[in-house]
Structure 1
Amino acid sequence: MRVALSWLAEHVELPAAVSTEEIDAAFVRMGLEVEGIRRVGDDLHGPLLIGAVLEIEELAEFKKPIRYCQVRVGPEQVRGIVCGATNFDVGDRVVVALPGAVLPGGFQIGARKTYGHLSDGMICSARELDIGADAAGILVLPADTPVGADAAAVLGLTDTVVQLAITPDRGYCLSVRGLARELALGLRSPFRDPAAAVTLLPDGPAPYDVRVQDASGCDRFVAAVVEGLDPTRPSPLWMVRRLTTAGVRSISLAVDVTNYVMLELGQPMHAFDRDRVHGPIVVRRGAAGERVQTLDGAVRRVDPEDLLITDDSGPIGLAAVMGGLSTEIVDATDAVLLEAAHWDPVTVSRSARRHRLISEASKRFERGVDPEMTRVAVARAAALLVEYGGGRVVPGVIDVDHRLPRLPILLDADLPAQVAGVAYSPGTVTEALADIGCAVEGGATLAVLPPSWRPDLIDPADLCEEVVRVEGYDAVP
């Protein structure tokens, strides 16, 4: 799991001037392996400014599109720049690297004569700034971006990136929410849960017909519809930057939003093109002879043990592993059906390996995902699509919930001390378990209800291990 420290800092009150060594030590104290901490953007130097395009002269005498642009980069500062991209117009805000700047990869910018004009800098693409994959088009910024401002500061081009190896029993740490919780605990700092800031969609008539025929494989299925999206709207730059830092490629606003929410909350999601879904959605096991074409283009023979998402046309997704090609988001998509579900980890693991298709979604589901995040994730994704895609939420939300209640674990309050050989008081035990999200009641014998994001806590030994972890392994003789 790779994440920007600035993203974690939105949910952890970091001590002033905290060092990377202290961040590393805090994660290690919580039992997480830090593979590396590195700075990004430190190879970016020199003047990199926000510019406004004043004039564009088309140089028609050349075989390929070439433009000579006048760009204002500050008061009384106008630069003439030759550019081969055509995706921007007069009035657009762009990023300008002036002579003397050095871009990621050591690319030095200088004034040079080309195509019969002196090019006094360069208008930059997202790839040239290392914040996206689009090398053919210029990065066009919102119209209110201040001209002459430092582009590195505006775009957040410098940051610290933490990379961690997440063990199978700590699936909740495959998210900013989980890692921020652990970092806050390791630093003994306040934690701000991103899920708490989400306003859930109100109950109402279901906007789509969903039937779950296999509750053992899918004990919760939540969905909502967002329509009226502007398919031409791009993903916001801050989102693209965070996805790129995490190693996720930006695709389109709807897809990027679902990936962003997965990284933020740990809940994998899928967005269907609503107008390409036919009839009710049915969650069921596979049938003999069925096939599904997944988003990677492969046609896969379905096993009877596979969980499927289907409509009247047949399978439209290999549940918890990969969506189907027939209902994928396309350039013209203006209405989406957002889905977030809680799938059986064993079934997901077997399907992913059977089809040799290990996805970011399957990695999380087979480790255990917080079932409480299904409705939160749908609401979060819907809000982002409304804000950045201009859509509107169709009233009502689908929430098919077949979950069984979790029972508390009975724990002798003296057991952690007996196991570790450390004199933990009953109060210390109670506080340590509460710190990781458990609900704790009782005195000499504690009734401990683990939090929804910790399916790995199933017996007293697991709880003892958590007490030792929170109180510090270094205290164990």
Structure 2
Amino acid sequence: MKFSENWLRQWTNPEWDANELAEALSLAGLEVDAVEPVAGQFSHVVVAHVVSMEKHPDADKLNVTQVDVGQSELVQIVCGAKNVAPGQKVCCAMVGAVLPGDFKIKKAKLRGVPSNGMLCGASEIGLPDDGVDGLHLLPSDAPIGMDVRDYLDLNDTSLDVDLTPNRADCFSVLGIARDVHAISAAPFKVPFVECEMAGSEPCSVAIQVAEPKACPKYLGCVVSGFNPQAATPVWMKQRLERSGLRPLSLTVDITNYVLLEMGQPMHAFDLAKLQGTVQVRMAQAGEKLITLDEKEITLKEGTLVIADDSGVIALAGVMGGLSTSVTDATSAIFFECAHFAPLAITGKARAYGLHTDSSMRFERGVDPMLPERALNRALSLLLEIAGGEVSQISAHISDEYMPSVAQITLREQTLVEKLGVAVPAETVEAIFERLGFSVVRIADGWLLTAPSYRFDMQIEMDLVEEIGRVYGYNNLPEDPVMAPITLRELPESEQELMALKIALVQNGYNEVVTYSFVEEKKQIALAPDLPYVLLQNPISEDMKAMRTTLFPGLLQSIAYNQNRQQGRVRVFESGLVFYKNDQEATGATQVPMLAAAIVGPVAASGWDEKSRNADFFDLKGDVETLLRMSHQLGKIRFEACRNPALHPGQSASLMKDGKEVGVIGQLHPQLLKTMGVSGTVFMFQIRQDALMTMDVPAAQGISKFPEVQRDLAFVVEQSLPVQQLLDAVHVESEILRNVEIFDIYRGQGVEPNQKSVALTLKLQHQERTLEDAEVEALVARILQVAKDTVNAQLR
């Protein structure tokens, strides 16, 4: 919210300078981002009247002017501006004036002709660019000889306040002034006379509100007979410009002015362009509207619109339509001023690629009692400046849908506990009265009724916060916090996520944090079978789906790095994925995941070895490292799978107790272009709960008896996963300690459709030396089980 300091001081004028005012607002929760003067520093610049002008005798581009500056004699000034002409009112820097940049004006001769001053353009006196190539022209009624700083009210500053979403009541000078009054206790007054402007003639426009829940209050009236050529006053233009708005035309400027002054959006339609009844209704799918910025939009069902018999003429609470816009030829208007429910407007502007001051306010909430005051203020300004006649105000109000004011109890004890100081009761009551609350003293505190514009007041802590910020956080005692801190014990059976992250970092990975909402097209491409949640109010069209996998963010990070000539990328992320579930209160089941992706060389190139690209087994080794840290490697099986995101020949499911807890594999080649990546990308994703529970190691003595090893080479079908052979070999035995693969062979001596898998069996007893007979018996049993289970033959 940007506004003029002088404008604010018409409402309330504390004894603070601009910087003190900014600091007080910031400490009260209304953070001031900038305090800027509205013009550069200059002096001795006055309003001047160009009486006459002649061509310079020795310069084609210079003119010799005689200027009236309010003194007894005319002043001769040589001027090179293209737009100088007799009869103009301009800004004149007198001899002795100092302009921005410490530029001093002295008597001079230009090509032999004396010049006693300088006629100035906007930029030369530090004003915003007025778009004129030449002098900054003043209105014809500007008083000659008056200091330009006083005439243009340039001893002013512009304050820019960054409002939090809950303080929509401060999206106006009125709202800011109420808070300044509460903070400073300076008097507060409305700087204009508020009166009922309704005329005696009925409103000629019929109004129908078909959606009273979305629009519980709709006011409208007709203004006719005003001067369409009337210009916006200088003071109004200045306040608009200092609030960041560009003056356009009188009607538009008045609606923008009241928007900034009181916080109420409103709209004016050209009466001659309206057809039939003005309706507040929901749009029908496929209806079209050309907005004021000449953008054609196709409306969706559920969008609140203003329409007449010809169709939609405005997007309610967002922007008007071009077909009924007010122009310089408009001689009669239909003024509307309404209260729209925030939920009826939220997200609609963004959904159509629009963003307006009106939608920003209606989305956050507008005082439901404000439309009458704001409409009367706008009508008063219009009649004062351009004349005309006003009809009766047609009001459509649905009391059952109007927001109710909140009544909240504040206990004295709560105030002491939360603020750490006993604020005197009279101070508490004075603060709430200045904030506009109705205060009733009760036994243990106060019963407070919030004003209609403080719709953010809901619970007792809201009231505590109000006292804290107005009383002043700097005034609260600096007492040490007596809060015992008990560190949570980490059971030995619980793995720390940070330890897993550190392991990945030590292995060359970099952690990334990506958005939880992703592009719907990529979501479907990577996980077409998983139900996902669509956001009703997405940041943008490519961030509308809640992710069901961490892969989109990882692939986006890889694409970002590859686009910047980074060929070797290793990234990981821990975060939530969201599966649509209507049974949950949030509409989704949230599952913590850990995922990673690699592409490019397995290691940085070196002089001593040839670089190679990372493959499936490099990533599988990193996954096994994480599983080994959690003592879960023996419980996790890697089983071949078909995953839409992964290459069908290089992908596996991570299975634990018969359930899939993760996947690993190569990104499907058909998805490279969709994801914007290149090369061979390998990825894994695993549920965090599969890694976070560890088996607690049990101490066991080392056997002092010798270990026996037996090497067995099995011939099996080429397609048989080695894991199945290992499962078959791991028979129950008190002496079988471990089974390791030491060779896989294909070639001469082995049938083309078969392979040889060589295993080492490690046998040992804890309390005695093994006998040959029992070793041979176990080997025979293993051979028989392997043959029966997977048809493995001893080579």
1:72 paired residue number: 68
What amino acid is aligned across from residue 2 of structure 2 in structure 1?
Answer: R
Indicate whether 1:14 and 2:34 are aligned: no
- Equivalent position to 1:225, from 222, 226, 232: 222
Quick one: structure 1 residues 394 and 332, their matched pair in 2 at CA, closer, same or farther if it must change by over 3 Å?
same
1:39 paired residue number: 37
2:46 paired residue number: 49
1:354 paired residue number: 351
Identity of aligned residues (%): 36
Indicate whether 1:24 and 2:22 are aligned: yes
Query: Helix, strand or coil: the match of 1:267?
Result: coil
Query: Helix, strand or coil: the match of 2:256?
Result: helix
TM-score where L is the length of structure 1: 0.87
1:340 paired residue number: 337
What amino acid is aligned across from residue 434 of structure 2 in structure 1?
Answer: D
Instruction: Give the distance between the partners of 2:313 and 2:93, measured in 1 at CA.
Output: 46
1:5 paired residue number: 5
Aligned 8 A contact 1:226 1:393 in 2 = yes
Indicate whether 1:153 and 2:150 are aligned: yes
Unaligned runs of 5+ in 2: 480-795
Residues 255-278 of structure 1, C-alpha deviation per residue, up to 9 Å, x if partnerless? 111111111111112222222222
- Equivalent position to 1:237, from 234, 237, 241: 234
Instruction: Give the distance between the partners of 1:364 and 1:257, measured in 2 at CA.
Output: 17
Structure 1 residue 120: Cα displacement: 6.4
1:383 paired residue number: 380
Aligned 8 A contact 2:410 2:463 in 1 = no
1:314 paired residue number: 311
Residues 210-261 of structure 1, C-alpha deviation per residue, up to 9 Å, x if partnerless? 2211111111122233223323332111111111111111111111111111
Quick one: structure 1 residues 139 and 376, their matched pair in 2 at CA, closer, same or farther if it must change by over 3 Å?
farther
Structure 1 residue 82: Cα displacement: 5.0
What amino acid is aligned across from residue 181 of structure 1 in structure 2?
Answer: R
Equivalent residue runs for 1:263-274 within 5 Å:
263-274=260-271
Instruction: Give the distance between the partners of 2:328 and 2:135, measured in 1 at CA.
Output: 19
Structure 1 residue 102: Cα displacement: 6.2
Aligned 8 A contact 2:2 2:160 in 1 = yes
Instruction: Give the distance between the partners of 2:371 and 2:120, measured in 1 at CA.
Output: 39
Residues 34-64 of structure 1, C-alpha deviation per residue, up to 9 Å, x if partnerless? 21223332x34244221223235699xx999
Quick one: structure 1 residues 119 and 159, their matched pair in 2 at CA, closer, same or farther if it must change by over 3 Å?
same
- Equivalent position to 1:400, from 392, 396, 408: 396
Residues 423-449 of structure 1, C-alpha deviation per residue, up to 9 Å, x if partnerless? 245554433322211112341264422
Structure 1 residue 459: Cα displacement: 2.5
Structure 1 residue 137: Cα displacement: 8.0
1:277 paired residue number: 274
1:431 paired residue number: 430
Aligned 8 A contact 1:127 1:135 in 2 = no
Structure 1 residue 191: Cα displacement: 1.6
Instruction: Give the distance between the partners of 1:177 and 1:138, measured in 2 at CA.
Output: 35
Residues 83-126 of structure 1, C-alpha deviation per residue, up to 9 Å, x if partnerless? 4238x763x53333456756668888786759x98876665566
TM-score where L is the length of structure 2: 0.54
Aligned 8 A contact 1:217 1:343 in 2 = yes
1:299 paired residue number: 296
What amino acid is aligned across from residue 207 of structure 2 in structure 1?
Answer: V
Structure 1 residue 173: Cα displacement: 1.2
Aligned 8 A contact 1:440 1:448 in 2 = yes
Quick one: structure 1 residues 292 and 202, their matched pair in 2 at CA, closer, same or farther if it must change by over 3 Å?
same
1:411 paired residue number: 409
Query: Helix, strand or coil: the match of 2:69?
Result: strand
Instruction: Give the distance between the partners of 2:123 and 2:209, measured in 1 at CA.
Output: 43
2:482 paired residue number: none
Aligned 8 A contact 1:224 1:397 in 2 = yes
Query: Helix, strand or coil: the match of 2:346?
Result: helix
Query: Helix, strand or coil: the match of 1:434?
Result: helix
Aligned 8 A contact 1:29 1:472 in 2 = yes
Q: Which has the higher contact order (CA 8 A, sep 6+)?
A: 1
Quick one: structure 1 residues 366 and 77, their matched pair in 2 at CA, closer, same or farther if it must change by over 3 Å?
same
Query: Helix, strand or coil: the match of 1:184?
Result: helix
- Equivalent position to 1:197, from 185, 193, 196: 193
Quick one: structure 1 residues 139 and 397, their matched pair in 2 at CA, closer, same or farther if it must change by over 3 Å?
farther
2:327 paired residue number: 330
Instruction: Give the distance between the partners of 1:320 and 1:172, measured in 2 at CA.
Output: 17
Instruction: Give the distance between the partners of 1:241 and 1:8, measured in 2 at CA.
Output: 14
What amino acid is aligned across from residue 397 of structure 2 in structure 1?
Answer: D
Query: Helix, strand or coil: the match of 1:377?
Result: helix
Q: Which deviates more, 436-445 or 321-330?
A: 436-445
Instruction: Give the distance between the partners of 1:396 and 1:275, measured in 2 at CA.
Output: 18
Residues 367-414 of structure 1, C-alpha deviation per residue, up to 9 Å, x if partnerless? 1111222111111111212222x2213231122222436254241533
What amino acid is aligned across from residue 197 of structure 2 in structure 1?
Answer: L
Instruction: Give the distance between the partners of 2:288 and 2:310, measured in 1 at CA.
Output: 11
What amino acid is aligned across from residue 12 of structure 1 in structure 2?
Answer: T
Question: How many aligned positions are there?
Answer: 466
Instruction: Give the distance between the partners of 2:123 and 2:358, measured in 1 at CA.
Output: 26
2:459 paired residue number: 459
Structure 1 residue 132: Cα displacement: 6.2
Aligned 8 A contact 1:230 1:391 in 2 = yes
Instruction: Give the distance between the partners of 1:221 and 1:58, measured in 2 at CA.
Output: 61
Indicate whether 1:290 and 2:287 are aligned: yes
Quick one: structure 1 residues 56 and 309, their matched pair in 2 at CA, closer, same or farther if it must change by over 3 Å?
farther
Structure 1 residue 454: Cα displacement: 0.9
Query: Helix, strand or coil: the match of 1:225?
Result: strand
Quick one: structure 1 residues 226 and 108, their matched pair in 2 at CA, closer, same or farther if it must change by over 3 Å?
farther
Structure 1 residue 141: Cα displacement: 3.9
Query: Helix, strand or coil: the match of 2:167?
Result: helix
2:440 paired residue number: 441
